[in-house]
Amino acid sequence: MTATSAAPAAPALPGCSSDCRYVALVIRFVCPRYFRPMLRIMANDKTSALLRIAGRGTVRARDLDAGKIPRAYLRRLTERGLLEQVDRGLYRLAGAPVTELNSVADVAKRVPHAIVCLLSALQIHELTTEVPHAVWIMIDRHARVPKLAHPKLEIVWASGLARTHGIERRRIEGVRVQLTTPAKTVADCFRYRRHVGLEVALAALRDYLRKHRGGVDALVASARADRVDAVMRPYLEAMA
């Protein structure tokens, strides 16, 4: 009695479901001439999906999970010159324009609990013409210090209202970023004046009052949250 041969295993297609593999198996043995073109189409679908994700900003390996894209595609597209590796585990489109805020987006992507503040927030709110030499972030007093090879970080710690008051969210380079509001940023400059310098705090206050004429109440509320209202009040009264 002749033994029945086992059914051939479905080809292992990266990122495909069991149904997808079953279809591939049928095509492979019923219509073999269409098998390799089908593989290319499936691969192109994954490639296109990954490039769409990269088009929205920097990409981490775990960003591929929702689209069921194998992480090996990051290496493949990097080798093909479609992506470039910014840092360990961080990729972006090759040749993508680099703006002054790319570093901010990179940090927000990798340290999502960080709050962009001080000189970096001043730059985003156009309250300074200086370009920070590092990305300034605020983290909780009990949070672990992030260790990034690039970009350089300047870190301040806070808790309570000093950390939670005056936070806004916006998208920068396709990345969701937490940062201090204009009023809170100015108050923080007074709170951390030993880090940034009193001259920077005074310049930020002057620019804030010029651009936000109706924002004194928000400024006072932020100064109270930071417990620097007594420090800032004389300067505010002199400039207002």
DSSP classification of residue 157: E
Domain boundaries, the chain: 18-93, 102-239
Q: Which pLDDT tens digit goes with each residue over 58-111?
A: 777 777 777 788 888 788 888 888 787 877 777 877 777 666 788 898 899 889
Coil, strand, or helix at residue 110? helix
Are 74 and 64 contacting, i.e. CB atoms less than 8 angstroms apart?
yes
DSSP classification of residue 3: P
**CA–CA separation, 12 vs 26, rounded Å?**
14
**pTM summary value:** 0.67
Are 156 and 195 contacting, i.e. CB atoms less than 8 angstroms apart?
yes
**CA–CA separation, 219 vs 204, rounded Å?**
12
Q: Which pLDDT tens digit goes with each residue over 96-121?
A: 766 678 889 889 988 999 999 999 99
Which residue positions in the chain have pLDDT lower than 50?
1-8, 10-15, 17, 19, 22-30, 34-35, 37-39, 41-42
